[in-house]
Amino acid sequence: MISRYVSLLAVRAAARGALRLIRLAIGAALIVAAAPVSLVAAGSATAAWLRGWPPGRLYRAAAYCAPMVIAWLVATALATRSWRSVATAPYLAWLAMWHHAAAGSYPAAAAVIAPAAIPLGLLAGGLAWSYRIRSMETGSGGLSPGSAVTFDLRQWRHQVRSARALIAAPGSLPLTTQNGHVVAGAVIRTIGHQGDRIAAIPYPRMRSHQVVVGTTGTGKTTLLLRLWAGFMATALRRHAAGAGRPPLLVVLDCKGGADARRIADRARRVLRAAGARSTAIWPDEASLSLWTLPPRQLTTTLLDLIEHGTGAAAYYADVMEAVVALAVEAPCGPPASAADFLARLDPGWLTLAYSSGGYDSDLALVRSAARQFGDIALRYRTLFRRLGSGLDGPGGFADADAWYCILEGTAEISVAEGQARALVDLLASYATGQPDGSGQAREILLAVDEFSAVSRRLPIWQLYERARSLGLAVQVSAQSWQGLAADDDERYRIAASADGGIWLLRTPHPEPVTGLAGTRKLVDTTRRLLGVPLWAHQGTSRIREAPVADPALIRSLDVGQVAYIYRGGVTFIQVKRLIGGPAALAGPTGATAARESRRAHGQPAVARPADGRASTVPPAPGGSAPAWVTHGDASAVSAAHDRSGAVPPDPPPRPGPPTPAASVPAASGQRNPLPDVSELLDEAFGAEAGP
Amino acid sequence: MIRAEGTAAPPAGGGNLAGRDIAGLLFTAEMYGVQVDQLAAVLGVSESRARAIAARWRRQRHAESARLGPGPPWIWLTRAGLAGCGLPYAPAPPALSRLAHIRAVAAVRLALESASGYHAAGAYWRSERRLRARVGGRVGLRAHLPDGEVHWPDGAPVAWAGECWAIEAELTRKTVGRTTAIMQELLSRTGDYGCPAADVLVPGRPPRHARVLYLCSAAARPTVARAREALGGAAARIEIRALPPGAAMEPAVRPAAGRTARQPGTTR
């Protein structure tokens, strides 16, 4: 009985083996019979594996062969005048291929079968590649359950290599696409987003709130520069086409220091190459005027700039508010400068101003608060001394296409807090009621970096909501999730309202942000262990939820790699570095020299034109262009943003009258700077870690 | 004692050298010697293939190889190999005390040559060995030779065409004073290496090196940065970058530890 059972088992095993051999033989015969298709399929699948392509790319390639197949079939129909011949053309081509091959004429054999074999092979390769990916994703493929992990890591490396090759190819990545999308870089991998080679962000998303999170040295500045330049180029093009308003980019760099100056210089060069006519760097080279605010807003802003106590000190806050309101809203008009305002904080001045009749209650207020005037004037004198001349004008946001505002949030936090508050109020005022010279409002992008460092007096969510009501787009960037805002409520409020997407670079704690991308359903398969190291292909599968943006992958991102999270999907992007041309004018040194030159000539640093509107165009002898303004010209634009050969969009013609032309020789002492070699060195030795 | 790898070489034979072999031999000669992994990068082949090529060079008596230190074996050219390349250098294996430095400089050269702009411009690397050969025995006690020069031909399609760069690979910290002195010497030199003494520093003439490129280890970088700051206006001509990956040698094995220590991030 036992021997019979053993024999039965042996027969069954032999039968199974024979069946398997027959299957293999049939498969091999089919592969050989369809050799051209098999070859193309193997080649395309291998190429897809090596380059990390999705299967869709092979399908698209097969679809692109359709004209060739149609032409071939039409030619066959015309030659034979028979539809039957057209129907049998692939079979006849297959026969002819074998005849040619048997005769040793391999090129002829390849030419005969190519129209049929290439699309079919690409299709088969795509299907095979899709099957392979699917089996690995579900955990059912490979020799061991760990194969799926290895496969994914290897594919990531292949995809990164392809993306890097794409951004290194000259001319492969323009700054914007023809339909006005902003190109961020080359796509590494997409999950839940449409797969493409180029990561292009539609312009409307640039007009929505965005969040950028990335540690120092991960390429955050490079990404931001690219986004700013893309916004500027696209908005200018749209404006030139009559489809949009002129752009205004305002950057608040809340860290300050030497790094901020370096980035400001880079931003100016990059923006000039993108078409920006002028970029102002505040407060080093340009100034804004707090005194252009409407009187009521000016009163509020001036009060917010001063720290107030609580409890009994609230009484003094009320007195101060009354006195400031009296000074600002005096019958003769609001103050024009800090000195003017300080001069008004005097009972005599206010009594005189309000003694023209009809202001009895205000005069009574002056009398009752007379004892406090000295203290209030002292506090404001101290405040203005600390704030510097950057807010004492003249000048306004209308004077430049881009403003790079440097706030010393690291060195002088309290000053930076006051400056941030004033700048945001100025921008809000400009956005609501200050049309520019051509009578048009502007499309404003406010980019704030590490704003949480200076947001004590202006919570960032308040900035967000104010911006939303004013039609401003706000781009908040921080080095970490914690750097976005003071507490988790604010952080989630900011991240949740980022309609334009979240840019996530390498950061050690990405979970809160990746959580916002949501989860996706994946098939998880268990496999039976036959004995180390053999696993069977039988097991059970179940559906599990996996994060769309894998936190582990975010932690391992390299410099210049970013995950763009938008609407429950994520696109991993290799950012293309943007290189601006050399500075046309000197940086701070040159500006300082020009300022000194103006002082030497007994002229104010900045003058008001005849129309009385504040302008930062300085009246240097003969009327020179401002030191901080870099006028974009044809040569600057053609110098291009992309030294790898990417051609930037044509500079759009700028409507409106030209800025007063420069006719004064450049400040003495300017030297011809050495050409910028950072692109070459970055390519050779890797990008330098930014701030 | 340095023991060559493998068995005794067969009698010298000419053998056919491909263009790739010639490029590899010249690179090896100019850099004093290279390790097999770097030779693989030069030749554009795998490390095992590079070992096979090195073995063929040995059979042809163009090169010698040995494990001089931790990591892959070193390859250097023999007298016959140098003569075949037409290079008048003294045949010798790389000095043990300079192995790390030689490897770092080779890594810098490889990284620079891998940049697309380098090839597009037709730039040329002039090695320290070549400079030293030009100077001969006239290198002063305090005179400093750069670890290499990069010459960018006039008319090359780069903004810095016509410039000559001095290359310095810094692995260990010097004093700030010494580093500043070296920088000043490199930036102020007007004559070529090996030129008459009167031409070394001629006021009014353009400096020989338009800029100096420092590739620093993490340890050396602060010193180099401080030295650059001390230069004042000339600091703009100093570029500081981190050494490329793979520039560091594998740390030596300590017998007592009984286990090979590996640098974080390195792969074998």
Q: What is the pLDDT of residues A442-494, one digit of tens each?
A: 899 999 988 777 777 677 777 777 777 777 899 999 888 888 887 888 888 88
CB of A433 within 8 Å of a chain B CB? The answer is no
Q: Are B164 and B208 a contacting pair, CB within 8 Å?
A: yes
- Based on the fold, state whether residues B49 and B101 are members of the same structural domain: no
CB of A170 closer than 8 Å to CB of A269 = no
Q: A519 vs chain B: nearest CA distance in angstroms?
A: 32
Is there a domain that residue B138 lies in?
yes
User: How near does any CA of chain A get to the CA of B111, in Å?
Assistant: 5
ipTM: 0.86
A679/B244 Cβ within 8 A: no
Is B203 contained in some domain? yes
Asked if B118's CB is within 8 angstroms of A680's CB, the reply is yes
Query: Encoding tokens for residue A189?
Result: 């991998």
CA distance A608 to B148: 56
| A20-24, A517-521, A525-529, B40-44: the lowest-pLDDT one | A525-529
What residues 533-592 of chain A have any CB closer than 8 A to a CB of chain B? 582
- Of the ranges A145-149, A271-275, A391-395, which one carries the lowest mean pLDDT score? A391-395
Q: Is residue A104 less than 8 Å (CB to CB) from chain B?
A: no
Mutate to test the interface with B, among A558, A559, A680 (most CBs of B within 10 A): A680
Residues from chain A that touch B118, judged by Cβ atoms under 8 A, are: 680, 684
Tell me whether residue B256 is in a domain. no
Examine the domain organization and report whether B118 and B246 are in the same domain: yes
**Are B241 and A685 inside 8 Å of each other by CB?**
yes
Query: Is residue B33 domain-shared with residue B130, that is, in the same domain?
Result: no
Indicate if B191 and B205 belong to the same structural domain.
yes
Residue A686's closest chain B neighbor by CA? B244
Please tell me the predicted confidence (pLDDT) of residue B12: 40
The answer to whether B110 touches B42, Cβ cutoff 8 Å, is yes
Within its chain, how far is the Cα of A216 from the centroid?
Answer: 16
- The answer on pLDDT for A283 being more than 90 is no
Locate the chain A residue with the closest alpha carbon to B235: A674
Give the range among A217-231, A611-625, B110-124, B183-197 with minimum mean pLDDT: A611-625
A vs B, Cβ pairs < 8 A, gives 47
Instruction: Find residues 122-181 of chain A whose CB sits inside 8 Å of chain B.
Output: 168
Type of residue at A604: P
Partner-chain contact A674 B115, CB within 8 Å: no
Beta-carbon separation of A684 and B213 below 8 A: no
Q: Please list every residue in chain B whose beta carbon sits closer than 8 Å to the beta carbon of residue A644.
A: 116
Does B265 map to a domain? Answer: no
B218 in a domain, yes or no? Answer: yes
**A231-235, A528-532, A666-670, B196-200: the lowest-pLDDT one:** A666-670
pLDDT at A82 over 70: yes
Residue by residue, pLDDT tens for chain B (268 residues) are 333 333 333 334 445 677 788 999 999 999 999 999 999 999 999 999 999 999 999 999 999 999 998 889 999 999 999 998 999 898 999 999 999 999 999 999 999 999 988 988 999 999 999 998 888 755 544 568 999 999 999 888 888 989 999 999 999 988 988 899 899 989 988 888 888 777 777 777 889 999 999 999 999 999 999 999 888 778 889 999 999 988 988 765 554 443 333 333 333 3
Q: What is the dihedral of CA A12, A14, A20, A26, to 10 degrees?
A: -120
Contact B244 A686 (CB under 8 A): yes
Q: Is the pLDDT of residue A506 over 60?
A: yes
Residue with tokens 């292949």: A158
Bridge partner residues of A293 (DSSP): none
Confirm if A500 and A209 have CB atoms less than 8 A apart: yes
Q: Which residues of B touch A681 (CB under 8 A)?
A: 213, 239, 241
What are the beta bridge partners of residue A542?
A524
Nearest Cα of chain A lies from the Cα of B233 at a distance, in angstroms, of 11
Reported as type and span, the H/E element at residue B33 is none
Domain membership of residue B129 (yes or no) is: yes
How distant is the Cα of A684 from the closest Cα of chain B, in angstroms?
5
Query: How far B245 CA lies from chain A's nearest CA (Å)?
Result: 8
Partners of A680 on chain B (C-beta within 8 Å) are: 115, 117-118, 158
Instruction: Judge whether B40 and B5 are in contact, CB under 8 Å.
Output: no
CB A369 within 8 Å of CB A323:
yes
Read off the tokens for A405. Answer: 């505002």
Q: What is the pLDDT of residue A600?
A: 36
Interchain pair B115, A684: CB under 8 A: yes
> What would the DSSP string read from start to end of A356-380?
TSS-HHHHHHHHHTGGGHHHHHHHH
Instruction: Kindly state the tokens that stand for B217.
Output: 């280890």
* Whether the Cβ atoms of residue A236 and residue A247 lie closer than 8 Å to each other: yes
- Please tell me the predicted confidence (pLDDT) of residue A601: 37
Binned at pLDDT 50, 70 and 90, residue A261 comes out as confident
Tell me the nearest-neighbour CA distance from B251 into chain A, angstroms. 22
Point out the domain boundary residue: B94, B128, B148.
B94
Domain termination residue (choose one: B76, B94, B112): B94
Looking at per-residue confidence, does B268 or A158 come out higher?
A158
Is B215 near chain A, with CB under 8 Å?
yes
Residues A467 and A432 sit within 8 Å (Cβ to Cβ)? no
Q: By CA distance, what is B215's nearest residue in A?
A: A685
Contacts (Cβ under 8 Å, ≥6 apart) of A82? none
A525 by DSSP, 3-state: which? strand
Average per-residue pLDDT for chain A: 81
**Number of domains present in the structure of chain B:** 2
Q: Which of A641-645, A675-679, B14-18 bottoms out in mean pLDDT, i.e. has the lowest?
A: A641-645
pLDDT bracket for residue A653 (50, 70, 90): very low
Residue A405 pLDDT class (50, 70, 90 cuts): very high
More confident: A527 or B11: A527
> What is the structure's pLDDT at A434?
52
How wide is the angle at C-alpha B197 spanned by C-alphas B195 and B201, nearest 5°?
A: 95
Would you place residue A272 in the very low, low, confident or very high pLDDT band (cuts 50, 70, 90)? Answer: confident
DSSP string across A407-426: --TTT-HHHHHHHHHHHHHH
Owner of token pair 């399929």: A41
- Of B69, B94, B119, the residue that ends a domain is B94
* Ramachandran angles phi, psi of A611, nearest 5°: -75, 0
Give chain A's largest Cα–Cα span. Answer: 127
Most confident of A259-273, A508-522, B11-25: A508-522
Contact of B118 with chain A, judged by CB distance below 8 Å, is answered with yes
Q: Are residues B103 and B201 in the same domain?
A: yes
Separation of alpha carbons B118 and B213, rounded Å: 15
Cα(A654)–Cα(A281) distance, integer angstroms: 21
Q: Per the CB < 8 Å rule, is A674 touching B210?
A: yes
- Comparing A126-140, A189-203, A427-441, the range with the smallest average pLDDT is A427-441
**Which residues of B fall within a CB distance of 8 Å from A679?**
117
Q: Which of A157, A589, A681 to mutate to test the interface with B (most CBs of B within 10 A)?
A: A681
Half-sphere exposure of B139 (CA within 13 A, CB side): 14
Both B234 and B147 in one domain: the answer is yes
pTM of the predicted structure, to 2 decimals: 0.61
Q: Do B211 and A681 touch (CB under 8 A)?
A: no
Contacts of A337 (CB under 8 A, 6+ apart): A291, A392, A393
CA atoms within 13 Å, Cβ hemisphere of A429: 21
How many residues does this entry show for chain B? 268
Beta A541-547 vs A279-282: how paired, if at all?
A: unpaired
B115 to chain A, any CB pair closer than 8 A? The answer is yes
Q: B64, B46, B42, B68: which is closest to B54 by C-alpha?
A: B64
Whether residue B162 is found in the same domain as residue B102: yes
| Among A211, A218, A221, A212, CA closest to A262 | A221
Residues B80 and B102 in one domain: no
Nearest to A683 among B116, B158, B243 (CB): B116
Residues of the domain holding B35: 1-10+17-94
CA–CA min distance B161, chain A (Å): 10
- Partners of residue B114 in chain A, C-beta under 8 Å: 683-684
Pairing of strands B211-216, B238-242: parallel
Of A25-34, A224-233, A434-443, the one with minimum mean pLDDT is A434-443
State whether residue B237 sits within 8 Å of chain A by CB. Answer: yes
Q: Compute the nearest-CA separation of A410 from chain B (Å).
A: 22
d(CA A518, CA A495): 13
pLDDT digits (tens, 9 = 90+) for A366-384: 888 888 888 899 989 988 8
Residues B189, B239: one domain? yes
Cis peptide before A459 (omega within 30 of 0): no
**Using an 8 Å Cβ cutoff, are A497 and A469 in contact?**
no
The Cα–Cα gap between A400 and A419 comes to 19
Task: Work out the burial of residue A557: count CB atoms within 10 Å of its CB; fewer than 13 is exposed, 13-18 middle, 19 or more buried.
Answer: buried
What CATH number should be reported for the domain holding residue B23? Answer: 1.10.10.10
Confidence class for position A285, pLDDT limits 50, 70, 90: confident
Mean pLDDT of A203-209: 92
Is there a contact between B115 and A686 if contact means CB atoms under 8 Å apart? no
Q: What is the pLDDT of residue B69?
A: 86
Shared domain check, B152 and B35: no
Stretch A415-432: mean pLDDT, rounded? 85
Poorest-pLDDT segment among A196-205, A268-277, A545-554: A268-277
Question: Rounded to whole angstroms, what are the CA distances from A441 to A187, A246, A399?
Answer: 35, 8, 13
B59 & B100 share domain: no
C-alpha count within 13 angstroms, C-beta hemisphere, residue A414: 8
User: What percentage of chain A carries pLDDT values higher than 70?
Assistant: 84
Strand order in the sheet with A502-504: A198-201, A182-191, A569-575, A561-566, A502-504, A210-213, A473-478, A443-449, A247-253, A402-406, A279-282
Residue pair B163/B211 in contact (Cβ under 8 Å)? The answer is: yes
Residue B260 domain flag: no
Same domain? For B201 and B215 the reply is yes
Interchain pair B241, A674: CB under 8 A = no
Q: With contact defined as beta carbons under 8 Å apart, do A226 and A477 qualify?
A: no
For residue B79, tell me if it sits in a domain: yes
